[in-house]
Structure 1
Amino acid sequence: MKQVLYFLLIFSASKTIAQTEVSAVKNNNPIFKGWYADPEGIIFDKTYWVYPTFSAPYEKQVFLDAFSSKDLVNWKKHHKILDTTAIKWAKKAIWAPSIIKNKNKYFLFFGANDIQSDNELGGIGVAVSSKPEGPYKDLLGKPLVDKFYNGAQPIDQFVFRDKDGQHYLIYGGWRHCNIAKLKDDFTGFVPFDDKTVFKEITPENYVEGPFMFIRNSKYYFMWSEGGWTGPDYCVAYAIADSPMGPFKRVGKILEQDDKIARGAGHHSIIKTPDSDKYYIVYHRRPLSETDSSSRETCIEEMFFDQDGFIKPVVLTNEGVKAHIIK
């Protein structure tokens, strides 16, 4: 009888260890279910947030969802934090949200309507809320940017806060990227010293999806190249001493892996405040999918070499381990 009990105890312990090992290699990419693209990741009050595009035909892109997590692994969905009932001028193609907290308010920048000329209503809008999960309401009642300045389609907006507290809007599709100084209340722009409002900072091979961050007093400017519907979509970057550049392309750091997924691009970066960990949040298309809207949001850890250059990102199904902000 003792031998039987001993065997059962050993079997039970072995089973528990096996289950633990299985859970340790759990696949965490994509980080949440559903077709979502163009994700912006950010931290508010020790909570990770991701604000993506709802990936669907343009006419169905009439709202934005958001996702929050305490550990980068378990995510909570916040339904329709913004939709076209709150933004009367937006009718379709609500894309690539970018968010920032300023003076205890949350400002959500977004593109809408996919305008193809200066004669159409649409462009980059701004919504505001007292909470990161919304609901958001229209700040201006009209687009913030509704024209093609320097050839840049008014989409793929990113709000960047510089070291001195100045906020910039960096945006642009159609292979052109602009930067503009935002007013303190985000209702418009402050001209540069030469009286211009929109300055072009387009680097080599730029297509869309700009993102910027500061590391060791250097400005890392990142963007997407290739076509978003194809396998050649990827992310490249440059480094400069100023948010104005000039930005000389260094090279690609994120692209497809034929064993994992295709069309990896349109990303953002999260830096943890309690460590030197950097994470890249991006979208990709599963190998089993051919529809252009079939994009999912994933995350990987991003590393630098001793000279400060970004190492190529390795696509995984495992994603990242849990990291609770202390």
Structure 2
Amino acid sequence: MKNKFLFLLIITMLSSCVVSKNKTSLAGNPIFPGWYADPEGIIFDDEYWVYPTFSAPYEKQVFLDAFSSKDLTKWKKHEKILDTTAIRWAHKAMWAPSIIKKDKNYFLFFGANDIQKDNEEGGIGLAVASKPEGPYKDYLGKPLIDKFYNGAQPIDQFVFKDVDGQYYLIYGGWGHCNIAKLNDDFSGFIPFDTGERFKEITPESYVEGPFMFIRNGKYYFMWSEGGWTGPNYSVAYAIADSPMGPFKRIGKILEQNKEIATGAGHHSVIIVPKQDKYYIVYHRRPLGETDGNSRVTCIDEMHFDENGFIIPAVITNEGVKANKLK
């Protein structure tokens, strides 16, 4: 009887260890607490970073936080890496940060003020810092883009580096998407051969939230569809041979699961070097939440089929397994 008791005790302890290990080795969704949306995920120096929008009424969106992790499961919050005290022309609606490292500096692009016409103050701004956690300061002292070119509201910016070293800014709301070639110091744009500085690349059903990456020599262009406050917010994509397209819509790869969450959209993709591993970082609305700003940031894996097409992502409550970069 004593031996049987010891055996059962050992089995129970081992089971507890396994359960504990499983719990700690998964990120869980959402990956950090609080209302956050429009997340951009990226890797800097063997560390994962996520830069989201603080999801609140526009007048309260006057700062940006960031989050870092060594393994995707434990996240450190970096509060107010940028706010309207540093960006004097920004008053509200600081949205959808996009970041890139160039030389020794980190350049953070963001939208502000939700302008509705050309003569309003606001648009897409740019801040700079020497560390990914900031603090960031205004780089230009004014918006980088403050007008509606090709009908695109100047929001939802994404900075993209091509294989030839050229940096592009891809952006746009109100159902229009532009691409523009950034000059060397990011103070303006280089005209295309046609003379235009902003080339429209809007695909079918595009609404907002563009993102681009390269895989096996192909350009994957992704965007959000539907209304951001509704349950049918989602992500679709296209593939082309150039960052200028043309981009023919293939289909949706991220959307709600009525048993888990609704409004899954406005995403980014973290690509892990040398692993051929892709994580889709996105926001969604927890079940039962009806406030448009009740959005949380989540991560799930993204996979491809043998022909290079994206397999629709499965949104989960468990999230992804721990993955240390070093």
TM-score (norm 1): 0.97
The equivalent of 2:78 in structure 1 is 78
For 2:72 and 2:3, how far apart are their aligned partners in 1?
41
Aligned to 2:154: 154
Residues 173-215 of structure 1, C-alpha deviation per residue, up to 9 Å, x if partnerless? 0000000000111111111112110000000000000000000
Measured in 1, the distance between the counterparts of 2:2 and 2:90 equals 70
**Does structure 2 retain, via aligned residues, the 8 Å contact 1:37–1:53?**
yes
Q: Which amino acid aligns with 1:111?
A: G
> 1:274: how far off?
3.0
In the other structure, the counterpart of 1:20 is: 18
Q: Mean Cα displacement is larger for which, 18-27 or 299-308?
A: 18-27
Any stretches of 5+ residues in structure 2 without a counterpart?
A: none
SS of equivalent residue, structure 1 residue 18: helix
User: What's the offset of the Cα at 1:80?
Assistant: 0.5
Moved more, 21-30 or 69-78: 21-30
Q: Deviations over 1:112-145 (max 9, x none)?
A: 0000001100000000000000000000000000
Give the 3-state SS of the residue equivalent to 1:149 in structure 2: coil
Q: Which runs of 4+ in 1 moved over 4 A?
A: none
State whether residues 84 and 90 of structure 2, in contact with CA within 8 Å, keep that contact through their aligned partners in structure 1: yes
Q: CA deviation at 1:19?
A: 4.3
Report % sequence identity. Answer: 75
| Secondary structure in structure 2 of the residue aligned to 1:280 | strand
Counterparts of 1:223-234 in structure 2 under 5 Å?
223-234=223-234
Aligned-pair Cα RMSD in Å: 1.2
CA contact (8 A) 1:179 1:198 kept: yes
**Alpha-carbon distance in 2 for matches of 1:84, 1:71:** 31
Match of 1:112 in 2: 112
What is the number of equivalent residue pairs in this alignment?
324
Q: Is the 8 A contact 1:274 1:325 kept in 2?
A: no
User: What is the distance in 2 between the residues matched to 1:222 and 1:131?
Assistant: 28
Match of 2:69 in 1: 69
Taking the aligned partners of 1:61 and 1:195, their CA distance within structure 2 comes to: 36
Distance 2:304 2:191 in 1: 35
CA–CA distance in structure 2, aligned partners of residues 271 and 168 of structure 1: 19
Residues 28 and 320, structure 2, Cα contact 8 Å, conserved in 1: yes
Answer yes or no: is the 8 Å Cα contact 2:27–2:320 preserved in 1: no
Shift of 1:21: 2.1
Aligned ranges 1:161-240 → 2 under 5 Å = 161-240=161-240
Paired amino acid for 1:70: K
Structure 1 residue 4: deviation in Å? 3.7
Partner of residue 142, structure 1: 142
Question: Could you tell me which amino acid in structure 2 is paired with residue 269 of structure 1?
Answer: V
Q: Report deviation, 1:13.
A: 4.2
Cα distance in 2 for partners of 1:158, 1:19 equals: 43
